Structure 1
C-alpha cells in the first residue's frame, strides 16, 4: 500500500504549473460571473462562483494545461470509433489511479451544479455530455487520449456529487420550516 506522501505526489504530478496557469482565468471570471448569475437566478453568490470554478477546474485539468504546453498539438481526428470498441468497454470499470482522479475531478461539479440548479438529472445529463465533449476535443486536438473508461469515471463522479447534493437538499430545512422555527424561538423568548 502506498504511503500518503506517495499518493499526494502522484496526484500532484497530474496537476502541474500549466494546469494552474490555465485555471487562473476561471479564478478571475468566476466571482464576476457568479455575481451576475446569482442575481438572475436568486442563488447564493458563493455557490454560483464555486460552481463556475469547479467547471473551470475540469477544463483546466483536462484541456487547458495541455494547451498551454503546446507540445502535444497535432492533427487529431473526429472519429468516434473509440466509443464503440468492445475491448475498451470490457475494462471500463477497472478502477485505477487515473479512474479515481477522473471521478474525483467531477464530484464537486456534480454536487455544486445540482445545488445551484436544483435539477439533479439535468445536471447529470449536462455533465455527461460535457465529459463526452472533453473526450472528443482531446481526441481531435491530441491533447489527451479519448477513453471510454475516463468517460465512465467522469459520469460516476458527477453522479456521486449529484447524490451528495440531493441528500443535502433533502435534509436541508425548507424556508417554511425555518420560518416556523424562528417564530417558535421568538415566542419562547417573549414568554420567558
Structure 2
C-alpha cells in the first residue's frame, strides 16, 4: 500500500473512532411519564322564585302589599354576597306628575312573614334606586345571611312589604299611573382558597 492509501485509511479510521466515541458520550437511560390534570370551574347560580314578585292593580294611598320570594343557590359554589340593583319606570297617565311616583312607594325588607314588625331595612323605591348594590347588600342581605352568605343548595325566604304612602296631601297626580319595577339580583363568589 502506498503512503497515500495508508494515510487515507488512517484518517477514515480516526474519524470513525471519534464518531463512535462522541456518540457514546451522549448515550443515557431515559423514562417518560405523562400526567393528566383537570381544572374544572364551579358555577354560581342564583335563582329567584317567583320571578315576578309583585303585580297589583287599583292601589291607592294607604294600601300595603306583602310579598315573599326565595333566593336559591343552585350552583356548586357558595355565594358570598347578593347584590340588588333597582330600576323602575313610571307611566304618567295624565301627564300631570310633578313628583316621582317611586318616592311614594315605601319598601320594607322584613325578616319573615310571621313577624311583620321586624324590619331589616326601610326605604322608598326612589331611594333604593339611588343606592349602590353594595349598599343594599350591606343593609338588607348581610343582616339576613350574615357572614355565611348563601351556601350551596340553600334557600332563603325574603319578605317585602310595599306601602303606597298616604302623606295626607293631594296625591291626585298619581291616579291611573303605573310603575314598572325591575330588580336585578347579582351573586358574587366567596374568596379564593388553597385547594
Q: What TM-score do you get using the length of structure 2 for normalisation?
A: 0.22
More helix as a share of residues: 1
Q: Which has the larger radius of gyration?
A: 2
More strand as a share of residues: 2
Q: Which has the higher contact order (CA 8 A, sep 6+)?
A: 2
Q: What TM-score do you get using the length of structure 1 for normalisation?
A: 0.22
